[in-house]
Amino acid sequence: MALVNTHFLNLQNNYLFADIAKKVNAFKVMHPKADVISLGIGDVTQPLCPAVIEAMHQATEEMATAEGFHGYGPEQGYEFLRKAILENDFLPRGIHLDINEIFINDGAKSDTGNIQEVLHWDNFIGVTDPIYPVYIDSNVMIGRCGTFEDGRWTNVVYMPCTAENGFTPSIPKDRHMDVIYLCYPNNPTGTVISKQELRKWVNYALKNDALIFYDAAYQAYIRDPEIPRSIYEIRGARKCAVEFHSYSKTAGFTGLRCGFTVVPKEVTVATFEGERIPLHQLWSRRQCTKFNGASYISQRAAAAIYTPEGKQQIQQTIDYYMQNAARMLSVLRSLGYECYGGENAPYIWMRTPDGTSSWQFFEQMLYGANVVCTPGVGFGPSGEGYVRFTAFGSHEKTEEALERIKKWSK
């Protein structure tokens, strides 16, 4: 008989956003006339910019001819996109990469979930808490996290990020970590990390032979020029860090799917015998076996955001969402709520009032204001007592939701 991978049975209930959808759908069944506005799940709402649309049309026309047709592309991605990434995302910041260190993907979620496959199952992972659920869930699937007790996994090192410590994780002194997950600007808290603090993590990884998985999916939202947009701005990071990027929030590609991962050739991992193996070599082999590459059309679309017109147009969309964030911060704080983030990221992290639990506040706001937020505890134990709001709605829907929250809060 076929036996199940029992590690999958250890996953806790449903994926967070599936639980939210289930509760919202139940509410809609009971209240069919209610107009629910979601400020919870982080999908974008604004259309793809004109430069992207034009590039997709051109690529489609190419595909309609024998001369321009593209079948299987290189698993690592087309050179035209990887070159554009080098010249626009890294060289202006003084970061020099080999073009072959860039792997085009179908979004950061896939690669952040899949890259742990190339590591031995008994590595100890460390995570900032709260954290994007995919990081832990993908490690649970391979049996790396131990058992789930009192809201925590026994083989996971949790590094709390709360208002009390300024959302700055401290490096544990009593637990060794082999793999460290960092996400900045942070999802869900919307907070950022300074170069000084990020340098501490790079130094730790170099000293302790650890590996950093750095999710930079929201770097395009950074306003403060002093905040690093890439971990490779830190000296030595090329020896210990893999970086993930996405066009989902940068350019509205949530339905188009494209992004990239940087795996420097200097990063190595060890065998039990002490042999050092380049992670780049392993990841390339894995991708060639299990990934056929992002589509030609989506890669042409991604390349278009690096044109002068594309840069201007996607910046306008990013500014649009950040206007929502500024408005949300202003209104929520005026109502007496304690809020964080929203200045260099499209997320608002709000403390629930009077010790209300995350899920309880979620339901109170859903039933009282017909507005959806995301319960913070779904991102980890330190998320309890917080909820997340996203700035990805339209101006009109965001304003209407804030008006409802005003009336409900009073």
Provide the terminal-to-terminal Cα distance of the chain, rounded to the nearest Å. Answer: 60
Give yes or no for a contact between 317 and 46, defined as CB atoms under 8 angstroms apart.
yes
Q: What is the DSSP string of 96-151?
A: ---GGGEEEES-HHHHHHHGGGGS-TT--EEEEES--HHHHHHHHTTT-S--EETT
Mean pLDDT of the region 316-335: 98
For range 291-296, the mean pLDDT: 94
What pLDDT sits at residue 65? 97
Helix (H, G, I), strand (E, B) or coil at 281: helix
Model confidence pLDDT, tens digit, residues 228-263: 999 999 999 999 999 999 999 999 999 999 999 999
Q: What is the pLDDT of residues 123-174, one digit of tens each?
A: 999 999 999 999 999 999 999 999 999 889 999 999 999 999 999 999 998 8
Report residue 12's pLDDT band, with 50, 70 and 90 as the boundaries: confident
Look at strands 102-105 and 374-375 and give their pairing: unpaired
Average confidence (pLDDT) over 108-117 = 94
Helix (H, G, I), strand (E, B) or coil at 357: coil
Written in H, E and C, the secondary structure of 289-352 is: HHCCCCCHHHHHHHHHCCCHHHHHHHHHHHHHHHHHHHHHHHHHHHCCCEEEECCCCCEEEEEC
How are beta strands 152-153 and 156-160 bridged, if at all? Answer: unpaired
- Please check whether residue 42 is in contact with residue 250, taking contact to mean a CB–CB distance below 8 angstroms: no
What is the reported pLDDT for 14? 67
Q: Give 349's strand partners.
A: 340, 388
The secondary structure of residue 388, as a DSSP letter, is E
pTM: 0.95
- Render pLDDT for 259-293 as a digit per residue (tens, 0 to 9): 999 999 999 999 999 999 999 999 999 999 999 99
- How high does pLDDT run on average in the chain? 95
255 burial type by CB count under 10 A (0-12 exposed, 13-18 middle, 19+ buried): exposed
Which domains does the chain carry?
9-47+309-409 (3.90.1150.10), 53-306 (3.40.640.10)
202 in Cβ contact with 208 (< 8 Å): no
Beta bridge partners of 153: 148
User: Using alpha carbons only, how large is the chain's radius of gyration in Å?
Assistant: 21
Distance CA 326, CA 5 (A): 46
Instruction: Please give the C-alpha separations between residue 52 and each of 123, 190, 206, in angstroms, as whole numbers.
Output: 41, 27, 40
Output DSSP code: residue 93: G
Beta pairing partners, 243: 214, 262
Residues paired with 160 in a beta bridge: 129
Q: In this structure, which amino acid lies at residue 305?
A: I
Q: Is a pLDDT exceeding 90 seen at residue 18?
A: no
In tens, the pLDDT along 193-217 reads: 999 999 999 999 999 999 999 999 9
Residue 323: which pLDDT band, with cuts at 50, 70 and 90? very high
